[in-house]
Structure formats: structure tokens, C-alpha cells
């Protein structure tokens, strides 16, 4: 049986750690906003309280650069 690639969108979404970020606030939790490196800016987050983007397996798997995707928008590849 064929297995789906590890970096499918669903698998990457499941490994997202946005909700553990210091900048992640109750508004984002309530609206279930995450996966900013793929989906873009947050409607809830506006201030920088710390960033863990580069500790996340998603940007690493896709070779994304940068951080604070919740504020700056979708990632750009290197």
C-alpha cells in the first residue's frame, strides 16, 4: 500500500505549533487560527511577544525563511 508523503498539507497542519507561541492570544485560540506560514496573517494577532516559527517542523520541512508569519503573512521559500 502506498503511503502519502510526510509533507502533505494535512500532515503539516497536524504538526503545526502556532498555538504554543508566546504571541498566540485567546482570540486566535477562539477562532482556531493557526498554520500562518501557509494561510497568511492573523486577524487576531497584532503584537510580537516572541516567535517559535523556526522551531516548528512545518517551516523546516518546506525550507521557509523568516518568522512571525502570523503578522507578516505567508512564508516565502529560500
pLDDT score at 58:
93
Is residue 3 included in any domain, yes or no?
A: no
User: Which residues have CB under 8 Å from 12's CB, separation 6+?
Assistant: 35, 38, 57, 58, 61, 62
- Please give the pLDDT value at position 5: 66
Does any domain span residue 4? no
User: Residue 21: inside a domain, yes or no?
Assistant: yes
**Is 2 within a domain?**
no
pLDDT at 76: 76
Residue pLDDT tens, the chain, 78 long: 555 566 788 889 999 999 999 999 999 999 999 999 999 999 999 999 999 999 999 999 899 988 999 999 999 765
Split into its structural domains, the chain has a count of 1
C-alpha grid cell, residue 72: 507578516
> What pLDDT, on a 0 to 100 scale, did the predictor assign at position 8?
85
Q: What is the pTM of this model?
A: 0.84
Amino acid at each position: 500500500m502506498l503511503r502519502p508523503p510526510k509533507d502533505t498539507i494535512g500532515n503539516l497542519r497536524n504538526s503545526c505549533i502556532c498555538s504554543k507561541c508566546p504571541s498566540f492570544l485567546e482570540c486566535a485560540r477562539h477562532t482556531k487560527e493557526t498554520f500562518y506560514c501557509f494561510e497568511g496573517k492573523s486577524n487576531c494577532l497584532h503584537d510580537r511577544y516572541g516567535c517559535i516559527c523556526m522551531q516548528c517542523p512545518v517551516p523546516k520541512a518546506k525550507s521557509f525563511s523568516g518568522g512571525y508569519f502570523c503578522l507578516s503573512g505567508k512564508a516565502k521559500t529560500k
